[in-house]
Chains A and B, each alone.
Chain A
């Protein structure tokens, strides 16, 4: 009974490096959502993707951040030239269709990014 799988669980990057976070949705799910939790904060929506399409990226920082969900393989959240302020937990959720009314999101265990 595989849920949403995220890897790596922990990622350490030096300032200026690139970070790639992967999310494999639950089997049969073609909709993926990325959220970020900064220290001492609640989760904040970043981006919603379907296979090969970005549906809503209104929560993504305008620079250095990008996301994709290719036809084959996991969804990737990419952060270029990381800065210390990018240190956070990044969570992914998935659904079979666009979320039905009253249907809660189910999250993976997250990737904890630390920028040194």
Chain B
């Protein structure tokens, strides 16, 4: 029972263009969503997050959009750079339920940004 789904295992974009990574969730109790970036042989690094009371959060080149009715979120990277090449994990948690350390992760999307 996968509660967080990243249906695209991989994505390839040209440097300078937009990268859009998608994530769907099924548990309506999730109220806080995060994106992590992971390089090989390293731990996941926190990138950006969004609370369910918002529909957009922006941090530099990274923007996360949340569509609660569709239970869908996406990460936009503009412009994409070769250093962005990594695996991106979507994660969700019931932040208000007292167990906000118990993240549920998707399987990840491998982003490759070509020079």
User: Measuring CB to CB, which residues of chain A are less than 8 angstroms from any residue of chain B?
Assistant: 4, 9, 31, 33, 35, 40-45, 48, 56, 58-59, 91, 93, 95, 98-99, 101-110, 112
Contacts and interface: CB of A to CB of B under 8 A. Distances in A.
A107 B41 CA distance: 13
Interface of B: 4, 32, 34, 41-46, 49, 51, 89, 91, 95-96, 99-108
A91 B43 contact: yes
A12 B64 CA distance: 39
A98 B32 CA distance: 16
Contacts, number: 66
25 contacts: A4-B43, A33-B101, A35-B103, A42-B89, A42-B105, A42-B107, A43-B44, A43-B91, A43-B105, A45-B101, A45-B102, A45-B104, A91-B44, A93-B101, A99-B101, A101-B95, A101-B96, A102-B95, A104-B34, A105-B101, A107-B43, A107-B44, A108-B43, A110-B42, A112-B41
